[in-house]
Chains A and B, each alone.
Chain A
């Protein structure tokens, strides 16, 4: 397993930017329109704007966290600032969060692949086959993920240019706000749900130890968070306005259904897979790698063995979900709790404690 990538653990800011965009995109891009249309009807796309703004704010806080960590690992930073017990507790919580996100992404992708591409293949087999290359990537190290991100990013963004951007010209803008019902409570809660549905920030939180210069992360991370959210917005905006809010909320994968009505409909399966498979792979490698690293740091076990265990846990957790009927609901509740803790509460407390100690 030793090669130039596995030996080189540090990644550049440009690579971090690419990874963050791909992590934010994830599989949630094709499932979020259903949840958003269900929550706010035709105004569902506004929730992504709210979620995107909160995401940028969260990314800003995480960048401050990265600055004080100064290249140390997540566990070391939290333990030294907030104390060892909290360091252990928060690291364990983050492992759970990462494995949950991994399992949810793998399960969702596999469900979509089963519907569109592999109707006769058993779901566990699709999940295992999806997860296997991700585990191999995670075993090769963090640099491998960054290199793969650089290779994949153009392939992943291509469908946006070919499918979703042309849809912007088919939307009836004169009726854009006509069907929207305004309710501040729904929009606030929905924006939070959207913010925590993005899977990028948790990886940003733990990646400071792998950056060449963690103190200069801010401009790259903020622009990547904004761009990632803008891409998710594009999918939501087109899906909700073209499919209609009612139809959109009744579909499991509205973002993918939209490809079905595009000019490239005959190749929908290939487009969908090239797009989402690569995006899922990039996130899954990160989730396996970091949960394995954290687990290794906590238990003192070999981190490569821990990565294998993390992938196995992700696979088993993904199998245990009841399917696309309940997965979004579980993800929402889970995301709200862990998202709030790791994106806002933890960075704020850690930064405050660090500054207090410094004074």
Chain B
């Protein structure tokens, strides 16, 4: 009996990894990672590792390190820390434009993220010209930078936004299938994250950047349910897009195959008098329809120029766009 108990104890210890485990109190939980690259300094990484201070006050902790490889940089931070780094709660990865411009660095980054089993495949990716400013954003009372950044993408439960999302799984899929990845570009405006475009990445090559208007056009073209405030016309008026659906169809035109993208959207305009609605309704509708159409055309043109024809394989000219918009005046 004693032998069996001893055997069970040894097996339990080895099976559960007891001999090298870390308790929760001994772990440093990383919530966000920012990585950039330069020829001179190698990789710069910033980890957001919040720590409990006196009287249970949570302090936002940023740990910065430069090293020739991402792994070395992370290990150096780990070795300097009194606690073991843990990436199981990391919610956001910010990629510097210096890194995205270097093919070797992109390859190393994707291998690092793919092979780190602690990192969740749902982790959100963002690009930025200045990773320091993003990581130094005040995340508010909870002090968790990663959750703050991922919250910016997720929005409220009912609130829709025109913000593109890209996670690690999508990036790995797109790389494997040699399709372009669209990583949202964020900047800081009024001390909060601001969606400022989309970085196009194909394989390990940075193909281009969609500016704000083109990025919005990109999102109209995507078959995801985006929404939010749309401003158009002179003087500018705003509408709240509440529903959006995009569908694709291959049609024959002049003996050639063309892609027809149909965008159906529903929105609300608020606080307009009956007289204003009667006289201006068709103008407003026209403003918004024209804006959606021109944004999508801009996006298609840029995608075609950058060899990232996500929505049509034969150039932007072979894609037709139809916009069906209905507005409710409330």
Chain A contact residues, CB within 8 Å of chain B: 115-121, 125, 129, 132-133, 243-247, 250, 257, 260-261, 265-266
Contact = CB atoms under 8 A, between A and B. Distances in A.
B141 interface: no
14 contacts: A121-B17, A125-B14, A132-B11, A243-B173, A244-B177, A246-B176, A247-B172, A247-B173, A250-B176, A260-B121, A261-B169, A265-B120, A265-B121, A266-B89
A133 B11 contact: yes
Contacts of A118: 17
Contact of B20 (A120, A260, A265): A120
Contacts of A133: 11
Interface residues of B, number: 17
B121 A261 contact: yes
Contacts of B117: 115-116, 119, 260
A129 B11 contact: yes
State the majority secondary structure of interface residues on A. Answer: helix
Contacts of B172: 247
B169 A243 contact: yes
Given A115-B117, A244-B173, A246-B176, A265 B17 contact: no
B330 interface: no
B326 interface: no
A245 B177 CA distance: 8
B68 interface: no
B88 interface: yes
Nearest to A277: B15
Contact of A266 (B11, B88, B169): B88
Interface string B86-115: 001100000000000000000000000000
A257 B121 contact: yes
A13 B7 CA distance: 34
B229 interface: no
Contacts of A260: 117, 120-121
Contacts of A119: 117
B81 interface: no
B38 interface: no
A121 B14 contact: yes
Given A243-B173, A244-B173, A247-B172, 15 more contacts: A120-B17, A121-B17, A125-B14, A129-B15, A132-B7, A133-B11, A244-B176, A246-B173, A246-B176, A250-B176, A260-B120, A260-B121, A261-B120, A261-B169, A265-B120
